[in-house]
Amino acid sequence: MCEILIATTNRSKVEPFLYSCKRLGLDKWYKFLNPKELGLNVEVDENSGSFKGDSELKARAYCQASGIISVSFDRGIEFEGLNYWPGTLTKMAFTGDEKMILGGVENRFEADVAKSREVLARLVGIENRFLWSVYGIAIAFPDGVMVSDEVRVRGKAADDLRITKVGYYYDWFFMPGQSKKTLSEMTPEEYLDYTATVLWPITPRIIEVLKK
């Protein structure tokens, strides 16, 4: 069984990937590792200017550090009415200061809600509420081979956050396609299936490489 290092500790990125692997039967061929298991702490300057490019930077860095096939993901959103902002600055736009303290107590959920409302407030007075969910995926091999892909899904921003136990950040207002329901309003099962197969899939180009 071959090993693949998933170059992230972000559970929201790992779960859809593993779900897709199981659907495709790849879990029978590969053993999936995470950086913590290997004691890896790799710092990557994500400065390529694109989601696909940033995923390539991370995949290559983790592959070189571990000597193991590494897969990485990068994702974010682009508002058409805001000149496709925030793009690759999505993480900064939605999380800001990771040590943000509200009410004297560090509260990640309240910080996420506050920043998400701050982002959505930028659309006040702007007629075009369409946006794109953009996702880059890359897999790097020890011999230097790199395969990557990008997925773009158009949707619309709801007027306000629709906060549920499902999702976070832009999931609270992103209505994909013609849906009137945000990602967070899906059931947990619907959310996982949709994100793993539409928003953040293992694309045909990556599948072809993994099945060789």
CATH number assigned to the domain covering 2-210: 3.90.950.10
Q: Greatest CA separation found in the chain?
A: 55
192 close to 15: Cβ distance less than 8 angstroms: yes
| Cis status of the peptide bond prior to 86, with omega within 30 of 0 | yes
Q: What pLDDT is attached to residue 109?
A: 78
Distance, in Å, from the CA atom of 181 to the CA atom of 199, rounded to the nearest integer, reads 15
Q: What pLDDT is attached to residue 9?
A: 79
Q: Helix, strand or coil for residue 118?
A: helix
87 close to 54: Cβ distance less than 8 angstroms: no
Per-residue pLDDT of the chain (212 residues; tens, 9 = 90+): 899 999 987 888 899 999 999 999 999 999 999 999 999 989 899 899 999 999 999 999 999 999 999 999 999 999 999 999 999 999 889 876 544 444 444 557 788 888 999 999 999 999 999 999 999 999 999 999 999 999 999 999 999 999 998 888 899 999 999 999 999 999 999 999 999 999 999 999 999 999 87
Distance, in Å, from the CA atom of 83 to the CA atom of 85, rounded to the nearest integer, reads 6
